[in-house]
Every structure is written in structure tokens, then in C-alpha cells.
Amino acid sequence: MSTRVYIGLGSNLADPDGQLRSALSALDQLAQTAVAAVSAFYASDSLLPGQPRYTNAVAALDTELQPLALLDALQALENDHGRVRAERWGPRTLDLDILLFGDHLIDSPRLQVPHPQMHLRAFVLYPLAELLPTEHCLPDGQLLAERLAACPFVGLERL
Ligand code: ROI
């Protein structure tokens, strides 16, 4: 049985748009996984000053993988795209975050779902809202519409 999963993609190094396109085709080739839909790409300044601008997007996947197996696959993909984990929050060629995994609530040392910062980040919420109805109720009980209302579309450029 497959689960609908939402992945946040981000890059701010080495041709960010190209990194995202290449990541999307790699995601579609993952075992037991298919890409069902992809948002537009969005550009925005980094939340941390002094970094290059990011390109972000959200993809909907249907996967038969369990959450930690998917996380392993995403981290392998990040490494394939030349990501070097030099500093926490550092610039990165590719960042893949599990935002939602069906309606699961996961709180393990390696993986928290829903992604703990997603409700604060316009570059996650607005692309997600292209793929989910805003009346969608998130696993923590909040409506996507409420999250959007609390997180204005500021500084985002839809590409
Ligand atoms: N800023 C933007 N705009 N997009 C990101 O994906 C992103 N990722 C990060 C930090 C450094 C917090 N800032 C970001 O990890």
C-alpha cells in the first residue's frame, strides 16, 4: 500500500534550479516510489544573511517505503548531489526534507514529521498549497489555510 508524501526541495549552490530538476528525476527513479506532482519553483533570500538565494519547491510522492527507508534514500540522494555537511544551516547543493508522510506523526531522533519548521516557512507552505487543498487538515490538527494566513507571502518569487 502506498502513502502520499510531501517533500521540500531546496538548493542555493551550483545551479539551484538544475539541482532541483535533477533531484526530481532521481526521486522518480527511487524504488517503490513515484513523483505524483511538483509545485512551481520559488526563489527567496536565505533565512541566514550572507548566503546565496535559494530555489525551493515541493513534490508529492507516492511511496511504499517506510519513513526511515525514505529518509535514507533522500540522504543518499543529497550526497549524490555533492552535499557536504560542513556546518548546520550552511549553504547546500541539495536539501530534501520530508514535510508530511501520509497523516503520520513521527517524533524519532532522526525524523520529525510534520517537519517542525514547515509552518514558519513561506518557501515551504506556498508551494505545498499548490498541491494540497487549503482546507487540508495537517496531522497536528492545523488547517493549511491557517498556516498560510500566519505566514505572509513576502520575499518569495514564483519562478
Ligand atoms: N532559506 C530559504 N529561502 N530556503 C531554504 O531552503 C533555506 N534552508 C535553510 C536555511 C539556511 C534555514 N534558509 C533557507 O536551511
Enter the C-alpha cell of residue 29: 527513479
Domain 3-158 matching CATH 3.20.20.140: the answer reads no
Tell me the CA–centroid distance for residue 119 and ligand 1, in Å: 13
What's the confidence (pLDDT) of residue 76?
Answer: 94
What's the confidence (pLDDT) of residue 92?
Answer: 77
Tell me the CA–centroid distance for residue 95 and ligand 1, in Å: 9
What's the confidence (pLDDT) of residue 85?
Answer: 62
- For residues 12 and 105, what is the distance between their CA atoms, to the nearest angstrom? 29
User: What secondary structure letter does DSSP report for 123?
Assistant: H
Domain residue ranges of the chain, discontinuous segments joined by +: 3-158
Q: What is the pTM of this model?
A: 0.94
Nearest Cα to 66, choosing from 6, 140, 5?
5
What average pLDDT values come out for the chain (159 residues) when binned by 10 residues? Answer: 96 91 95 97 93 96 98 94 67 91 96 94 97 92 94 95
User: What 3-state class would DSSP assign to 17?
Assistant: helix
Ligand 1 pocket test target in 7, 42, 123, 154 with most atoms within 8 Å of CB: 123
Which residues are catalytically annotated?
A: 83, 92, 95, 97
